[in-house]
Amino acid sequence: MKKLSTYVLGITLLGSLSLSIQCKGGEKKSNATAEKGATTAPVSIQKSAYGTTPEGEKVEHYLLKNNAGMEVGIITYGGRITSLSVPDNKGTSANVVLNFESLEGYLNENPYFGALIGRYGNRIAKAQFELDGNAYTLAGNDGENNLHGGLKGFDRVVWEVAASEAGEVATLKLRYLSKDMEEGYPGNLNVLVTYTLDNDNNLSVDYEATTDKNTVINLTQHAYFNLSGDFSKTILDHELQLAADAYLPVNAVLIPTGEIENVEGTPFDFRTAKLMGKDINAEDDQIQKGLGYDHCWVLNDQDQGLREVARVHHPASGRVLTVTTDEPGIQFYTGNFLDGTLPTTQGGNYGHRSGFCLETQHYPDSPNQKDFPSVTLRPGEKYNSKTVFSFLTQ
């Protein structure tokens, strides 16, 4: 059923162009083993100890495996994806998410590798906002702005996790109670994030939350991908297609100006597949402000709910990643701040643009931008959001 819905979404949302590329390229949703084993080999989950935080909290590692050769490692610290192995078009598996060797790497300063982000993904200008006439002050952890929830966001807390292997899906339920005024945000926020791996190489991330006071919320996932599986390489040879006719220009500190700009004739036009590297160094004021791509695209068909919005193809390996979401925006970030200081798991350091992120979300700074879709969550309401990362080969 999942497979069918992804297929239908692919047709309707990235349109006939994407479909014809898929057919021509002989794209496969899963490998031969998967098709054969679909009814026999079950998904599995292995749990192991991963370490202890400086506060003495135990951190566990869960390895989710399906029968199509996909494996996903997730730790309870920050709900971080620490590995994600998928086959290339010759059937050879490799890990395609930037990661560290051990817990220490994640505890050390790092740009949110693999993490769940909250309460507010992306930036809030001057680390402040007003809600119902009350002013709230957050930590300025990105110059004067608040980024990704503050000093100790959801990426730096230990989540309570329940694992289950039901039918043909492996599921991890991660819970966290963010207390009233934690990091300056109002309301006790009960958060549930569910990671689900199925046998069609779909990793779903379902976000739910409730609050006991009016608050703002914008949850996302911050995995850095490099579909080559070779972290000494940049991502500039990956092709990207985005179902977005517009993007949000930013000021010098990456806060949206409030304008919604058409991508036509700009380096931000990914309506048809284009190499990430093609226009990344263009002489363009917005590219210069982002030091490359570090912007939120305004996704099309926002009233259609869950739809395929992004497709990345790495020609050399044949790996394809599609992103399906019900969110209105996606931050496409090309690892412009990776500067060769953090160690890879392959014996080297993460260089400039060695990973890209596709962070599904509401628009940055929405609490201060009255014309952007609302990010307010009120008592009695339920925050719901879904993103699916799907892997194929072509």
**Which residues are at the interface with ligand BGC (CB under 6 A)?**
111-112, 254, 294, 331, 333, 337, 357, 359
* Nearest distance, CB of residue 337 and ligand BGC, angstroms: 5
Q: What are the distances in angstroms from CA 172 to CA 43, 62, 106?
A: 12, 8, 20
- Contacts of 315-319 with CB under 8 Å at 24 or more apart are 315/237, 315/239, 316/228, 316/237, 317/88, 317/89, 317/94, 317/227, 317/228, 317/229, 317/393, 318/88, 318/89, 318/90, 318/393, 318/394, 319/86, 319/88, 319/89, 319/96, 319/227, 319/391, 319/392, 319/393
Give bridge partners of residue 390 from the DSSP assignment. Answer: 202, 322
Task: Give the whole-angstrom CA distance, residue 96 versus residue 318.
Answer: 13
- Please identify, using beta-carbon distances, which residue of 254 and 388 lies nearer to ligand BGC: 254
Between 33 and 110, CB nearer to ligand BGC:
110
- Closest approach of Cβ 117 to ligand BGC, in Å? 8
Decide whether 114 or 186 has the Cβ nearer to ligand BGC.
Answer: 114
Q: In the beta sheet, which residues pair with residue 120?
A: 218
Residue showing the smallest CB distance to ligand BGC in the complex: 111
Backbone angles phi, psi at 223, to 5 degrees: -65, 140
Shortest distance in whole angstroms from residue 360 CB to ligand BGC: 11
By C-beta, is 138 or 357 nearer to ligand BGC? 357
Q: Among 274, 321, 271, which residue's Cα sits nearest to residue 297?
A: 271
User: How far is Cα of residue 288 from the mean position of the Cα atoms in its chain?
Assistant: 23
Q: Which of 61, 148, 222, 314 is catalytic?
A: 222
Structure tokens at 28: 């496969």
Amino acid at position 131, single letter: L
202: part of which helix (H) or strand (E)? strand 202-211
**Closest CB to ligand BGC among 69 and 335?**
335
Beta carbons within 10 angstroms of residue 248's beta carbon: 24
Smallest distance from ligand BGC to CB 294, Å: 5
Q: For the CB of residue 309, give the shortest distance to ligand BGC in the complex, in Å.
A: 17
CB nearer to ligand BGC: pick between 122 and 199: 122
Task: Supply the minimum distance, in Å, between the C-beta of residue 72 and ligand BGC.
Answer: 21
In the residue annotation, 295 being an active-site residue is answered as no
191 residue type, one letter: V
- In the residue annotation, 259 being an active-site residue is answered as no
Residues annotated as catalytic (active site), given as ranges: 222, 359
